[in-house]
Amino acid sequence: MNLPDVRDRARAAFLGAAVGDALGATVEFMTPGEIRAALGVHREITGGGWLRLKPGAVTDDTEMSLCLARAMDAAGGWSTSDAASSLAAWLRAGPVDVGSTCRRGIRRFMLDGTLAGPPSAGDAGNGAAARMVPIALVTLGDGEALRRVALEQARLTHHHPLSDAACLLVGELVQLGCMGLSLRRLRAAADALVAAEPRFRFSPYRGLATGYVVDTLQTALHFFFTTRSFEECLVAVVNQGGDADTTAAIAGAIAGAYHGPEAIPRRWLRRLERGIAEELAGLAERLVALSPLGRGASPRLR
Ligand code: MN
Ligand code: MN
């Protein structure tokens, strides 16, 4: 493993997530049958969808990840209160979309300043797992730091064991991909989650791609492990419909890290809204530089 390669893969994780968000937003909340009837196979970033987006626009998944990344970039590392303030500023500015659990959590912070909500049975949505890329990057090389920071960021809006478990696995897979580890090693990490929490079993695939974090992870994992390229993975994920922008953001983060920057189709990167690709790339590199790995520590995996 060498640091320039880690940096390249970190960029690909962040860009891969944004590309997945922009590609999937067109078909968010559609069924596979509706997508087939309307578009055949959806494989280009064209905007539209229920949010009537411009081609290349990203949604809350990328925007919340950017909030966390910008806050860490400004402060030189993780601060839960900085992250919460950044999300609050984003919510105040009136984002085009925000999930109900995220909105409630950010509003709670704005009202009483608390950095975690109480455990709640309704918090098993995928909103926290969708923000894991910057957390995975800034804690590269330290599995314990990943666990701690992942849960702090998650519980700003979601406090549920299934969300916690999903956040940890997404973070771990992005880190393993960034470090250039084998598909077998990534599969072992996913299988360990399934062993600990059988609800996440993704083989055989049940075909559900909703915003319930179990369905979301099953979709991202099934298509990541059964396809051979970044493009094939993301096209398969978004044509499953459902919470397509979020499932594809998570799959794109993992597949981007694993397959690397050359695997992300140029035509998708060129379509991303102006300035976003450059900002994501710069933030990814600076988060790696802030990480234990970037500061010269030898990696300690969980
Ligand atoms: Mn979204
Ligand atoms: Mn979504």
Q: Average pLDDT for residues 203-231, to the nearest whole number?
A: 98
| 232-290 pLDDT per residue, tens | 999 999 999 999 999 999 999 999 999 999 999 999 999 999 999 999 999 999 999 99
CA of 50 to the centre of ligand 2 (A): 11
CA of 248 to the centre of ligand 1 (A): 10
CA of 210 to the centre of ligand 2 (A): 9
CA of 76 to the centre of ligand 2 (A): 29
Q: How many domains does the chain have?
A: 1
CA of 137 to the centre of ligand 2 (A): 22
298 occurs within a structural domain? no
12 occurs within a structural domain? yes
Least Cα distance to 284 among 2, 1, 17 occurs for: 17
Taking the C-alpha atoms of residue 15 and residue 131, their distance in angstroms, rounded to an integer, is 13
Q: What is the pLDDT of residue 297?
A: 78
70 occurs within a structural domain? yes
296 occurs within a structural domain? no
Report the CATH number at residue 216: 1.10.4080.10
| 88-99 pLDDT per residue, tens | 999 999 999 999
Task: Show the domain range for 94.
Answer: 3-118+125-290
| Averaged confidence pLDDT in the chain | 97
199 occurs within a structural domain? yes
Question: Residue type for 9, please?
Answer: R
Phi, psi of 221 (to 5 degrees): -70, -45
CA of 116 to the centre of ligand 1 (A): 22
CA of 245 to the centre of ligand 1 (A): 5
300 occurs within a structural domain? no
| 31-80 pLDDT per residue, tens | 999 999 999 999 999 999 999 999 999 999 999 999 999 999 999 999 99
Point out the ligand nearest to the CA of residue 241. Answer: 2
Point out the ligand nearest to the CA of residue 59. Answer: 1
CA of 24 to the centre of ligand 2 (A): 8
CA of 88 to the centre of ligand 1 (A): 17
Reduce the DSSP state of residue 222 to 3 states and report it: helix
92 occurs within a structural domain? yes
Q: What is the pLDDT of residue 1?
A: 72
Other Cβ atoms less than 10 A from the Cβ of 227: the count is 18
CA-to-CA separations, 133 to 10, 85, 241, 243, in angstroms, rounded: 9, 19, 22, 18
N-to-C CA span, the chain: 17
pLDDT at 134 over 80: yes
CA of 139 to the centre of ligand 2 (A): 25
pLDDT at 100 over 90: yes
